[in-house]
Amino acid sequence: MLAATLGFGGGVVPQPFEDPGPVVRWGLPVSKLAFNVCAAVTIGALFFAAFVLPPSTTSHARSLRIALFAAGAWTMVSVFGLVFAFLSLVPMSLFDPGFFTQFVYFAQAIPLGQTWLVTILLTASISLIALLAQRPGHAAAGGALAVVALLPMALTGHAAGDQGHSTAVTALALHMLGAAVWLGGLIVLVAIRPQLNPDRLKVVIQRYSVVALSGFILVAASGVVIAVVQLNDVINLTTPYGLIVLAKAVVLVLLGGAGAWNRLRLIRRFGQPGSRAARTFWLVVGSELVLLGIASGLAAGLGRTPPPEQPIPANFPPPAEAVTGNPTPPEPSVVTLFTEWRLDPLWALVSVAALILYFLGVRQLRAQGRRWPVGRSVAWVLGLGLLFYATNGSVVVYQDYLVGFNVVSLLLICVMAPVALLAARPGTLVRSVVASRTDRTIGFAEAFVSAGRFSALRAISSPVLWAILLPFSFAVFLFTPLVEWSLREPFGYHLTIVCFLTLGVLLTRTVLQARTTRIALVAVGVFLIGMLVLALALYTHGAVLGAGWFLSLELDWRGGPLSSQQASSYLVAGVAVVWSAVLAATLQRPAHSAQTPTDVPLAKLTPERTS
């Protein structure tokens, strides 16, 4: 019954539904509103427990209790969301015979039901982690899982439409994350206020203000991308959907103004004798909570409002446009390599943020009277430029149409960019300018130290291991359905980038920091052989890789998928040879045992009082 009703199986055309009634009609948007609030409080509480509040304090324990109850409520709300999603699609009553059977089928076999079911399982797991968490690392793990639990819902919103699917879904996920951290952190800050003494309260507010600023940037930037994708034309701002977007924009501007006032004026005067900054600060926080509540209500209303209808083409779209969801670009040429771009909100933000933070660190170092080699800064710009081009430039545009561009993208991300990024010595810069914490919380410096200790473990610090894994991962990705999966699923694409960037950084780092030059050179040789074998396999493989995707595009370009695939083999071999030569030359340089002026230990803060 359910499959026929929803148009699944047998090609049955969906029939119009009868009115499900006001309870069901309003149950789903209310569930989604409650879903957003519970998710925000859970993420905010776990963030505070991991990065803001010292362990073994009353405020830390209270934050974990808030996370536990919020995660439990998140799970229950997700259950209600699953029920209301089913009832809004299928004209059945809870007491109708066969309800349970159809409901189970919906949860297991229909994509919308599967999304809600996965969310329920994830939020239940977060509740368990919050119950057992004691250390900041435990809370950080729970917070990471809570962020993952937001992702399935990003696939169900209006932003997950056909046109610009990947960009819209990524922007919606960032929008939800920014709003969750911002709103949740503010709610938790108000809740734990009684447990904090004045000195600790000021430190907590300063730490949260950085997160609030990051959340504001995420919400604003991703909101603009979503609005552009959904509205498509300025005239659509006069539609109901456009008016709600404008209302959200006004609320966001007001929130930005309130946050700027707090950060630039009130927090600096917090705790000064005779100052009324503290009282004004909490009044502003109260107004922020009201505005964020209005924004959450508008978001729920936006979810129930259909976006403006896109113009219907007179003819069916060509296969390439129907499959990719984007207008087909011109045939690739030397010119289009520089003129074709497609914004990826996630990696654009990562690249810009990393660039700004790096140069802020350099400026702070120079303000302290210490120099920083210009070559390192140039290397950082080059590495981020390669990453940005691989994720926003013509490479990402054409990788939907030619398999060879997928190879080029991976070469830029995991072979070329890591060399430049590591040459910039970001770890040294962080150790030089970022103060370490003395209250056992996790800050920027502590995260870098932990990552360094993890990568120094004997089990994973062998460069030969990564020299084998990287070419092997290349082959597994290209010669299996993973390449098609990364093209169809936005989150699969981002996971692919993260995995290959991590592999590239670990290989380059372990080679440069190998115990002996002999081991490093062996790793370089193993990597070179593995990549040359991969290049040979690409050239001699007679079938198109990812044929289910690329051949369905039916393009008449001169360089087809197979030609592109074979041409990419030359790039694989060439890049591998150049990478190996650069690393081998670097390893032959005499080691400098003396510490450079900028290679200094972590700066120390004055010990902070715990609450």
Question: Range with the lowest mean pLDDT among 192-206, 350-364, 391-405?
Answer: 192-206
pLDDT computed for residue 21 by the predictor? 59
Tell me the percentage of the chain whose pLDDT exceeds 90.
39
- Domain membership flag for residue 184: no
Residues pairing with 435 in the sheet? 603
Mean pLDDT of the chain: 83
pLDDT computed for residue 450 by the predictor? 73
Report helix, strand or coil for 399.
Answer: coil
What is the rounded CA–CA span in Å between residue 527 and residue 338?
30
Mean pLDDT, rounded, for 63-72:
94
Confidence of residue 12 (pLDDT cuts 50, 70, 90): very low
Cβ proximity of 321 and 400 under 8 Å: no
Highest mean pLDDT among 305-314, 504-513, 555-564: 504-513
Q: 474-533: per-residue pLDDT in tens?
A: 999 999 999 999 998 888 899 999 999 999 999 999 999 888 899 999 999 999 999 999
Residues 401 and 498 in one domain: yes
DSSP summary character for residue 54: P
In a 10 Å sphere around its CB, with 0-12 CB exposed, 13-18 middle and 19+ buried, how is residue 198 labelled? exposed
Confidence of residue 568 (pLDDT cuts 50, 70, 90): very high
Q: Which residue has the higher pLDDT, 93 or 150?
A: 150
Highest mean pLDDT among 61-75, 441-455, 550-564: 61-75
Residues 497 and 595 in one domain: yes
- Domain membership flag for residue 246: yes
**Residue 38 is which amino acid?**
C
- Domain membership flag for residue 15: no
Q: Which two tokens stand for residue 13?
A: 């055309």
Residues 237 and 281 in one domain: yes
Q: Which residue has the higher pLDDT, 573 or 244?
A: 573
Q: Is residue 10 over pLDDT 80?
A: no
Residues 338 and 280 in one domain: no
Report helix, strand or coil for 277.
Answer: helix
Radius of gyration of the chain from Cα atoms? 26
Q: Which residue has the higher pLDDT, 270 or 160?
A: 270
pLDDT computed for residue 22 by the predictor? 59
Q: What is the pTM of this model?
A: 0.84
Confidence of residue 4 (pLDDT cuts 50, 70, 90): very low
pLDDT computed for residue 590 by the predictor? 59
Residues 148 and 170 in one domain: no
Say how many domains are in the chain: 3
pLDDT computed for residue 20 by the predictor? 55
Confidence of residue 457 (pLDDT cuts 50, 70, 90): low
Longest dimension (CA), the chain: 80
Q: 133-149: per-residue pLDDT in tens?
A: 888 888 999 999 999 99
Torsion, Cα 517 522 527 533, to 10 degrees, reads 160
- Domain membership flag for residue 315: no
The dihedral of CA 461, 467, 470, 475: what is its sign? negative
What is the rounded CA–CA span in Å between residue 525 and residue 76?
55
Domain boundary among 92, 126, 156: 156
pLDDT computed for residue 276 by the predictor? 72
Q: Is residue 165 over pLDDT 50?
A: yes
Residues 458 and 560 in one domain: yes
In a 10 Å sphere around its CB, with 0-12 CB exposed, 13-18 middle and 19+ buried, how is residue 15 labelled? exposed
Residues 243 and 340 in one domain: no
pLDDT computed for residue 279 by the predictor? 78
DSSP summary character for residue 608: P
Residues 61 and 147 in one domain: yes
pLDDT computed for residue 606 by the predictor? 35
pLDDT computed for residue 519 by the predictor? 92
Highest mean pLDDT among 258-272, 302-316, 401-415: 401-415
Confidence of residue 423 (pLDDT cuts 50, 70, 90): very high
Q: CB count, 10 Å around CB of 398?
A: 23
- Domain membership flag for residue 131: yes
Report helix, strand or coil for 603.
Answer: strand
Write out the residue range of the structural domain in which residue 58 sits: 1-6+20-156
Residues 222 and 143 in one domain: no
Mean pLDDT, rounded, for 297-323:
74
Confidence of residue 592 (pLDDT cuts 50, 70, 90): very low
Could you give phi then psi for residue 11, rounded to 5 degrees?
Answer: 65, 30
Q: Which residue has the higher pLDDT, 310 or 253?
A: 253
Question: Range with the lowest mean pLDDT among 107-116, 311-320, 342-351?
Answer: 311-320
Confidence of residue 458 (pLDDT cuts 50, 70, 90): low
Residues 267 and 410 in one domain: no
- Domain membership flag for residue 46: yes
Give start and end residues of each alpha helix (H) in 462-551. Answer: 463-478, 482-488, 490-512, 517-540, 547-550
pLDDT computed for residue 270 by the predictor? 67
pLDDT computed for residue 98 by the predictor? 79
Confidence of residue 38 (pLDDT cuts 50, 70, 90): very high
Residues 118 and 198 in one domain: no
DSSP summary character for residue 262: I
Rounded to 5°, angle at Cα 26 from 21 and 28 = 110
- Domain membership flag for residue 409: yes
pLDDT computed for residue 23 by the predictor? 57
- Domain membership flag for residue 34: yes
Residues 499 and 569 in one domain: yes
pLDDT computed for residue 360 by the predictor? 93
Confidence of residue 605 (pLDDT cuts 50, 70, 90): very low
Question: Range with the lowest mean pLDDT among 78-82, 155-159, 354-358?
Answer: 155-159
pLDDT computed for residue 5 by the predictor? 38
What is the rounded CA–CA span in Å between residue 325 and residue 320?
8
Residues pairing with 603 in the sheet? 435
Q: 42-53: per-residue pLDDT in tens?
A: 999 999 998 888
